[in-house]
Amino acid sequence: MTIASIYNHFLECDSVCTDTRKISKNCLFFALKGENFNGNTFADEALEQGAKYCIVDEEAYAENENSILVEDVLTTLQDLARYHREQLGTPIIALTGSNGKTTTKELINAVLKTKYQTLATKGNLNNHIGVPLTLLSLTRDIEIGIVEMGANHKKEIEFLCNIALPDYGLITNFGKAHLEGFGGFEGVIEGKSELYKHLIKHNKLIFINSNDALQKQQINDYSNYYSFGNTKGVDVNVLNQTNGEFVSVQFGDEVITSNLSGIYNFNNIAVAITIGNYFNVSVQQIKEGIESYIPSNNRSQIIENNSNKIVLDAYNANPTSMKAAIDNFKLLKSDAKYALLGDMFELGSTSNQEHQEIMSYAETEIDGQILFVGENFFPCNPSSPQSLKFKNFDDLEEYLQNKTIQNSLILIKGSRGMALERALPYLNN
C-alpha cells in the first residue's frame, strides 16, 4: 500500500498511538518493534480497545480488515510523518544541541504561543520515533511547529531533518555530550551541524548566536541567518541583567526576569526572544511568554525545602553542563553549601578523565561539602577533605538518612540514569 493510501486512512483517525496502554478511540496504531517487544502481537488488542486501524509488518497479524500490512512499521511511521508535514506546509523550527534543547524549546513555544497557534515536541520525544509522532500531531490550525531533535551519533540529525524538513533551525551549543557515540568532541560538532547543513542546502533560515565562534564557523559565509548576541551588527541584542538566583535579561527597554536558575540559561532565553522578535511578537508578549514559563522535570528548578534551598538540575549531565552548573552555583550566595554530583554517562573512553576533571574542578570552585555519587566518580581521587564519594545511590541514601542538612543551598546535578531527585526527601529539613 502506498503512503498516499495510508495517509487517507490516517485522515480518518483522530490521533496516532504506539502503545496499547494509551489507546484512544479512533486512533491509528503503529505496531512498532523493540528489543523486548513486538507490537504486532498487540494489534488485535489495539483494535478491541478502540483503534480504527493498525499498521503491522507481519502477515500473521494482518488478518483483520482494519490491519494494514506494510514492509516495515517504523519506516512507514517516518514516511507518513514526512508526507503529512509536506501536505500541511506548516512552518517548522528545528533545534538541536548538546545542552538546553528542551528548555529552549519550551521557551520558544512560550513566546510564540502568545501570538500564534503552536505545536511543540512533548517532553523530550526528540528521536527517530518522537519526531515523527510530533509531526503527525500537526493540524491545519497550527501556524508554527517547534521540533526538538536529539542525537547520540552522526547522521542522526541529518535523518531527522529529512523527515521534518525544517524551515528554520538553531543549535543551542556544542558540548561534551554522547562522546562515545559521536567519537569525541569534533564528532559532536559534526553531528549537530547536520542541521545547519540541511538548512544551508535548502536555503532556509538559521538562528545563530553571534558570540559562539564554533557555530559561526559551521555556517561560513552563508548569509540567510538571523543573529543575536552583543557583537556589532547583530539582529537582536539581549543583555544579561542577572543579579540573583533567577536569570534576568534586558531586551529593548524591558527587563525580563525568568523563573530559571543558572546563568547558562541566558542563551536559551536569548534564543526565544530572538525568534519571537523575528516572528513579530511584541516586546510585551515576549516578556509575558518568558516570565510565564515555569521549569519542571528536574531542569533548572529552585525548590524551597523548609530551611534548605535546592537547585535541582538533575535531568541530565555531561562535562559541559556540569561545569556550567558548578560555575553558576559558585555565584549564588549562602553561608552553607552542598553539592550532590552524580555520574555522567555515554562518555566512552574519556569517562575516567572527564569525571576526574569535574571532581577536581568542583573542589576548586565550590566552597562547601561535595558528595560524588556513582560508579564513574567512585574510582576518582578527591583532594579536598570536604569531598565524599559513594559508589551508588543506596550508599548515598544511607548517608543522608543519618545526616541532617539545614539552612543550606544545595546543588543536585547528574545524568538521568542516576535519578538524583530521589535525594529530595532527605533534604527536607
Could you read off the pLDDT of 325-376 as tens digits, one per residue? 999 999 899 999 999 999 999 999 999 999 999 999 999 999 999 999 999 9
Are 17 and 26 spatial neighbours (Cβ–Cβ below 8 Å)?
no
Which of 33-37, 288-292, 310-314 has the weakest average pLDDT?
33-37
Q: Tell me, what's the pLDDT at 124?
A: 80
Whether the predicted pLDDT of 244 surpasses 90 = no
Are 429 and 308 spatial neighbours (Cβ–Cβ below 8 Å)?
yes
| Residue % of the chain over a pLDDT of 70 | 100
Strands (DSSP E) contained in 245-382 are 246-251, 254-261, 301-305, 308-313, 337-342, 369-373
Whether the predicted pLDDT of 406 surpasses 90 = yes
Question: pLDDT digits over 77-97, tens only?
Answer: 999 999 999 999 999 999 999
Q: Tell me, what's the pLDDT at 25?
A: 95
Domain borders along the chain are: 3-71, 89-292, 301-427
Q: Under CATH, which number does the domain 3-71 receive?
A: 3.40.1390.10
Q: How far apart are CA 365 and CA 367, in angstroms?
A: 7
| pLDDT classification of 36: cutoffs 50, 70, 90 | confident
Q: How far apart are CA 198 and CA 270, in angstroms?
A: 23
Q: Tell me, what's the pLDDT at 245?
A: 81
Are 303 and 403 spatial neighbours (Cβ–Cβ below 8 Å)?
no
Q: In what order do the strands lie in the sheet with 144-148?
A: 118-120, 144-148, 92-96, 168-171, 205-209, 225-228
Whether the predicted pLDDT of 297 surpasses 80 = no
Average pLDDT along the chain: 95
Q: Dihedral angle at the C-alpha atoms of 53, 58, 60, 66, nearest 10 degrees? A: 10
- Domain 89-292: homologous superfamily in CATH: Mur-like, catalytic domain (3.40.1190.10)
Q: Under CATH, which number does the domain 301-427 receive?
A: 3.90.190.20
